[in-house]
């Protein structure tokens, strides 16, 4: 038996049984090896570190402009990104290693899954408030763009409530909401193409494809290093969207 698999042997070290039961509950039927947990931990460490640097860079770019809308949009986006990567790291590290107790693990699980909605809506915010209110806003209609942003945040709030109140129910609905929120921006496709720099459009599209492709690995639980691969796709996709937002802020 792998040293990291669930064991009910009476000779197990004190406390190991609880950690392994929590690990089994955390991953249900999937038990990750030590190498898989280390790889996932490295990905999460990179995510948290990169998000801290990314938020700092955005604020340094936005604050000197004195533009309230620009500062607010980047702050909302940065807060959502930082919260998502931090909560994901905390949950996966605690869950992987059976730390902090079962209650703490379950609370972090709810917050981790709820934060995904926050990041998606937060990512939409600068694209709508900064990138589309000008020329793109005239093509698509500023009011309609703001309604689109309001719809995204409404769906995000619904998803957050579902994850916080009923964490083990509506799983299929949650996945549908994630993907729908991610691609609903196609409704403003014409405005995006007209308003954003070409590089930002490409980065936005590539990020969306990476997020969607990553879902395959998220669901492919029998694949070795599945969790690390999934989180790697998320990190790469977030990096693409961040680069697109930096391009927008730089030309705002």
Q: Which residues are annotated binding-site positions for Zn(2+)?
A: 231
Read out DSSP for the chain? --TTS----TTSPTTHHHHHHHHHHHHTT----HHHHHHHHHHHHHHHHHHHHHHHHHHHHHGGG--HHHHHHHHHHHHHHHHHHHHHHHHHHHHHHT-S-HHHHHHHHHHHHHHHHHHHHHHHHHIIIIISSSHHHHHH-HHHHHHHHHHHHHHHHHHHHHHHH-TTS-HHHHHHHHHHHHHGGGGGHHHHHHHS-HHHHHHHHHHHHHHHHHHHHHH-TTSTTHHHHHHHHHHHHHHHHHHHHHHHHHH-
Which residues fall within 8 angstroms of residue 25, CB to CB, at 6 or more apart? 102, 105
Binding residues: 231
Alpha carbon separation from 164 to 7, 109, 110, 177, 190 (Å, rounded):
31, 9, 5, 15, 36
CA–CA dist 236, 238 (Å, integer): 5
């Amino acid at each position: 038996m792998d040293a990291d698999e669930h064991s009910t042997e009476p000779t197990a070290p004190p406390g190991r049984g609880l950690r392994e039961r929590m690990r089994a509950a955390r991953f249900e039927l999937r038990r990750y090896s030590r190498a898989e947990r280390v790889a996932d931990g490295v990905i999460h460490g990179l995510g948290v570190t990169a998000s801290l640097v990314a938020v700092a860079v955005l604020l340094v770019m936005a604050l000197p402009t004195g533009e309230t809308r620009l500062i607010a949009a980047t702050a909302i986006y940065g807060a959502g990104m930082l919260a998502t990567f931090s909560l994901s790291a905390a949950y996966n590290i605690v869950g992987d290693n059976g730390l902090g107790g079962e209650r703490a693990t379950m609370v972090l699980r709810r917050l981790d899954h709820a934060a995904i909605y926050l990041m998606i809506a937060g990512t939409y915010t600068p694209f709508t408030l900064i990138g589309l209110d000008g020329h793109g806003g005239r093509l698509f209609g500023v009011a309609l763009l703001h309604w689109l942003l309001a719809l995204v945040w409404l769906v995000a709030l619904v998803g957050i409530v579902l994850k916080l109140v009923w964490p083990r129910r509506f799983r299929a609905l949650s996945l549908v909401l994630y993907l729908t929120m991610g691609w609903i921006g196609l409704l403003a496709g014409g405005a995006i193409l007209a308003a954003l720099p070409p590089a930002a459009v490409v980065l936005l599209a590539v990020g969306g494809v990476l997020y969607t492709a990553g879902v395959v690995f998220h669901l492919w639980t029998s694949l070795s290093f599945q969790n690390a691969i999934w989180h790697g796709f998320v990190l790469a996709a977030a990096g693409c969207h961040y680069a697109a937002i930096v391009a927008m802020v730089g030309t705002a």
